[in-house]
Amino acid sequence: MKDAVKASLRNPKSFEHIATIRSAVGKDGRFGVIMRYRAQNGFGGMNVEAMGVEVEAKNCKPKEVAINMLERRYGTWTPVKTKG
């Protein structure tokens, strides 16, 4: 996720990871992951943004989805330890 977000930024060097959280695996075999980050906007200020994906647990295949849908679908979220 981090690499995908950085590749989409105007200034990839401004990327600052804040937190990554995940839900438990649901009955459908999927779980949600949300990464919050800070990055520079086009005016030079810093914005806090988030990217959410839904993942199939059996093959770890991600699908980008809206964050509000993930928050409604999965109730319990767990912090994820990430590297850098």
Q: What is the mean pLDDT of residues 22-40?
A: 91
pTM of the model: 0.74
56 vs 52: CA distance, rounded Å: 14
The DSSP secondary structure of 32-72, one letter per residue, reads EEEEEEEEE-TTS-EEEEEEEEEEETTTTEEEE--HHHHHH
- Is 80 exceeded by the pLDDT of residue 43? yes
What tens digit of pLDDT does each residue of 50-69 get?
888 899 999 988 876 666 66
Which is more confidently placed, 78 or 74? 74
pLDDT of 68 reads 64
